[in-house]
Structure 1
Amino acid sequence: MRAQFPCSARTILSVVIVLAISALCDSPAFSADLQTDSSGEAPFVAENDRAMTRMMEDMAVKPTGDVDRDFVAMMVPHHQGAIDMAQAELRYGHNEQLRRIAQEIVVEQQQEIAAMRLALGQSLPPSAPAPDQQKPVSVPAAHSDPTSHRGMQMNMPTHTQEEK
C-alpha cells in the first residue's frame, strides 16, 4: 500500500528525487563506473540519462501568466520522464516486482497526463503502442489472421456433421 501525499508534497518529493538522481548521474565517479561496466547496465543508465535530460529541459517552461497552463506544461514532461524511466526498467530490469511497479507507473502517469490535458480542454494525442511494445523495423509483421493466436493454444471442440 502506497502512502498518500497531498499533490504538492508528492510533486516536491518527485522533484527532489529527480534532482538527486540527476546529480548522481553527473558525478565523475558515476561516469567512470559506466565506462568499466561489465554488468550490462550501461544501456539502461544511458537511456535513463537521456530521459532525465529531456525531462529537465522540457520542464523549463516560461511562465505565461496562466498558473493552470504553466502547471500542466511543467507536469506533463515530469510525468513523461517517469514513463520513460519506467520503460527503461521494463526493457532492462529483471526483478518482476519492480517491473510490475514500472508497468503501473506507465499506466498511472499516462492517465494523469490525460486528465491534466482534459482539465484544460486540450485534445489528447492519438493512441500508440508503447516504445517497448513496438516491433523493430527488421521484424516482419505477423500475419493478421483474426483466428490465429500465436502463443495461445485454443482447445475448442470441433463438431463433425454427424455430431450435430
Structure 2
Amino acid sequence: MKKSAFILAALCSGTLLLGSCNADKSADSTATETTSATADTTAAGGDMAGMDHSTMADGAAGASPLMASMNDMMAKMDAMKMKGNTDHDFAHMMLEHHKGAVAMADIELRDGKDATMRQMAEKIKADQQKEIGEMEPIAERLDSAPTNYKPQDPADPFTAQMKASMDGMMKNMPQMVADPDMNFNMLMTVHHQSAVDMAKAELAHGKDSKLKEMAQMMIDAQQKEIQQFKDWHTKNEGKMKTSAAVYECPMGCEGSRSNKPGKCPTCEMDLVKKA
C-alpha cells in the first residue's frame, strides 16, 4: 500500500514538472497570441495607443518617495482600460492623476521643510480632493456613454493628444536631488503640466459641458501654480545638490532605497548607508 502511494506521488510530481516545462515552452507563443489579440481589440475596450509609462525614471525612483509615487500613479493610469469615449476616459485618467498629486502633497507635508512648498502642498491637496469628489459621480455617469474615438489608433486626435501629455511628462522628468522641497517643486511642475495638457485635450474633443468646465478650471489654476513653482525654483537654485548618500536594506528588499536613514518598509531592518 505504501509502495503504491509512493509511485502515485512520483507520477503526480512528474506530471507537474512536465506541465511546468510545457508552460515555459509555450510562453513565447502565448505572449504573441496575446499581443495579436490586443491589437485586434475594438476602440470600446482597449488600452490607449502607446501609453506605456509604468517605469518612468532611472534608479532615482527607488531613492525618492516622490518619484516612487509618480511611478505608482503612472502604472495605474497605464493599467486602465479605455472605453473609447473622450469624456469617460479623460475623467477616469484625471482621477488617477489627481490622486497622484494628493499622494505627492502628502509626502511633501511629511518630509518638506520650506514654508512656501508646504503651503502649496496643502492647497494642492485640498483642491485635488475637491475635484476628485466632483469628478467621481461624473465618471460614473459616463460609464454608459457611447464610444466616440479610437483609443488604439495613434492617429486619432484625442488619443494622440492624451499620449503627448504623458510623453511630455516623461521627457521632462527631473533628476532627484537631496532636498525634498526641491524634488516636490520639480516633480509637481511636470505633473501639473501634464494635467494642463490632458485638460486641453478634453476641451478640444470632449462633449460633456460640466467636465469641460472643470477642465478649463484645471488649466487656469495649474498654470498659475506652475509659474509659482518656477519662481520658487529660481530663488532656490542652491538646493539643486544631488544626494550625497543612499541608504539601502541590507537584505536587498525591492523598493527600500532612500536618501535618508530609516527602516526597510518590507523587513523593517535598519537601512545601511551605501554612498
Q: After TM superposition, give the deviation of residue 86 of structure 1 in Å.
A: 0.1
Aligned to 1:63: 176
**Cα distance change on mapping 1:104 and 1:19 into 2, 3 Å:** farther
Off by >3 Å, runs of 4+ in structure 1: 14-19
Question: Which of the numbers 180, 194, 199 marks the counterpart of 1:81?
Answer: 194
Amino acid at match of 1:110: Q
Amino acid at match of 1:113: I
Q: After TM superposition, give the deviation of residue 46 of structure 1 in Å.
A: 2.0
Mapping of residues 117-136 of structure 1, within 5 Å: 117-121=230-234
Number of residue pairs the alignment of both structures matches: 100
Q: 1:110 and 1:18 mapped to 2: Cα distance?
A: 21
Question: Which of the numbers 59, 75, 83 marks the counterpart of 1:19?
Answer: 75
Q: After TM superposition, give the deviation of residue 45 of structure 1 in Å.
A: 1.8
Which has the larger helix fraction?
A: 2
Aligned to 1:39: 148
Mapping of residues 103-118 of structure 1, within 5 Å: 103-118=216-231
Amino acid at match of 1:81: S
Q: After TM superposition, give the deviation of residue 17 of structure 1 in Å.
A: 4.9
**Cα distance change on mapping 1:47 and 1:39 into 2, 3 Å:** same
Aligned to 1:150: none
Q: 1:120 and 1:53 mapped to 2: Cα distance?
A: 23
Q: After TM superposition, give the deviation of residue 24 of structure 1 in Å.
A: 3.0
Preserved CA contact (<8 Å) 1:58 1:74: no
SS of structure 2 residue aligned to 1:70:
helix
Aligned to 2:164: 50
Which structure has the bigger radius of gyration? Answer: 2
Q: 1:100 and 1:40 mapped to 2: Cα distance?
A: 20
- The higher-RCO structure (CA 8 Å, 6+ apart) is 2
Give the TM-score of the pair, scaled to structure 1: 0.50
**Cα distance change on mapping 1:18 and 1:103 into 2, 3 Å:** farther
Q: 1:101 and 1:121 mapped to 2: Cα distance?
A: 30
Q: 1:16 and 1:54 mapped to 2: Cα distance?
A: 18
Q: After TM superposition, give the deviation of residue 99 of structure 1 in Å.
A: 0.5
RMSD of aligned alpha carbons: 2.9
**Cα distance change on mapping 1:107 and 1:54 into 2, 3 Å:** same
**Cα distance change on mapping 1:17 and 1:71 into 2, 3 Å:** closer
- Once the two structures are superposed, residues 55-107 of structure 1 have per-residue CA deviations (whole angstroms, 9 ceiling, x without a partner) of 13323x22233333222221111100000000000000111101100000001
Question: Which of the numbers 204, 207, 228 marks the counterpart of 1:91?
Answer: 204
Unaligned runs of 5+ in 1: 1-11, 31-37, 123-164
- Once the two structures are superposed, residues 112-153 of structure 1 have per-residue CA deviations (whole angstroms, 9 ceiling, x without a partner) of 11222223345xxxxxxxxxxxxxxxxxxxxxxxxxxxxxxx
Q: 1:76 and 1:58 mapped to 2: Cα distance?
A: 10
Give the TM-score of the pair, scaled to structure 2: 0.32
Q: After TM superposition, give the deviation of residue 53 of structure 1 in Å.
A: 2.1
- Once the two structures are superposed, residues 17-52 of structure 1 have per-residue CA deviations (whole angstroms, 9 ceiling, x without a partner) of 543222337x9xx9xxxxxxx833532122101211
Q: 1:85 and 1:17 mapped to 2: Cα distance?
A: 15
Amino acid at match of 1:106: I
Percent same amino acid at aligned positions? Answer: 30
Amino acid at match of 2:199: A
